[in-house]
Amino acid sequence: MCRCPKKRLSPCQEREYLNCLRTLQAEGVSVDIPDEWLRDSCPLDIVLAPPTVSMAFDWPSGGAGYAVWVRLLSHKRCMVEECALSAPWDDDIVIQTIDECKSVCEFSKLVFPLAQVLNHQIENTLRFPRPGYVVQGVILARSGARIPDHYTSGVRAPSTLTLYDQWGEEITEQGHLSVGDRARKRTKPIERPREDLFGNPRDAFTNIAAEVPEENIRRLNPRSSIQPVTGQNQRPQSSEVGVEQIDSEKETGQ
């Protein structure tokens, strides 16, 4: 008796058939999906580092920065070609392009060895050549949206990491990020008083020495010897009194 060998489907065909069966199930059609297909449907396990390691922080020029540590374990041969990150306050977090010519990656105040950064590896297609293959490192991202004020320093914020394999399938894992130091800086300028000590309007370009009226100076310091000057040729009153006294003494002496 001749037996025909059972033809084995390729991984691409398995995924295509699995998507069709899931579509039929969603439409209410009763179908049977092989257990091995369900077991092997997710090619990767994603483990996110705890919030004390993975973090979100305010970017110095505005927006926010993200550093997410991950550990990826493959169940079968696969490739990761794209990556996305989301948070409750922003769904448009952009994975950053890394300069591969440098040995270290400077990300705001954070510095990582290039070998620990996964950004450029994902952009160049991160490959898992066999089951049980492990890749771990940090994914760096930025966003133009600022972290809301109620997420104070050290607070845990939920996040979602999504990887896309070579077929465009999503591999998603949810975790938490630790919000970095959010020390506030004074942004309100110090206003200059609009009035002087005597209630007179103060002009930004007014000479301070000319702002205080003479009578106010005398009121503050009765012994002040400041005399008003009304002309260049006017002689001080004290010197005029001295001249008259000298003339009277001369006449008496004669």
For 222-235, what is each residue's pLDDT tens digit? 555 545 555 555 55
User: Is the pLDDT score of 213 beyond 70?
Assistant: no
Q: What pLDDT, on the 0 to 100 scale, is given for residue 239?
A: 47
Q: Domain ranges in the chain?
A: 10-41, 43-179, 191-226
Where does residue 37 rank: exposed (0-12), middle (13-18), buried (19+ CB within 10 A)?
middle
Residue type at position 62: G
- % of the chain beyond a pLDDT of 70: 59
Return the percentage of the chain with pLDDT > 90, whole number.
42
3-state secondary structure the chain: CCCCCCCCCCHHHHHHHHHHHHHHHHCCCCCCCCHHHHHCCCCEEEEECCCCCCEEEECCCCCEEEEEEEEEEECCCEEEEEEEEEECCEEEEEECCCCCCCCEEEECCEEEEHHHECHHHHHCCEEECCCCCEEEEEEEEEECCCCCCCCCCCCEEEEEEEEEECCCCEEEEEEEEEECCCCCCCCCCCCCCCECCCCCECCCCCCHHHCCCHHHHHHHCCCCCCCCCCCCCCCCHHHHHHHHHHHHHHHHHC
pTM for the model: 0.60
Averaged pLDDT of the chain: 77
CATH class of 43-179: mainly beta
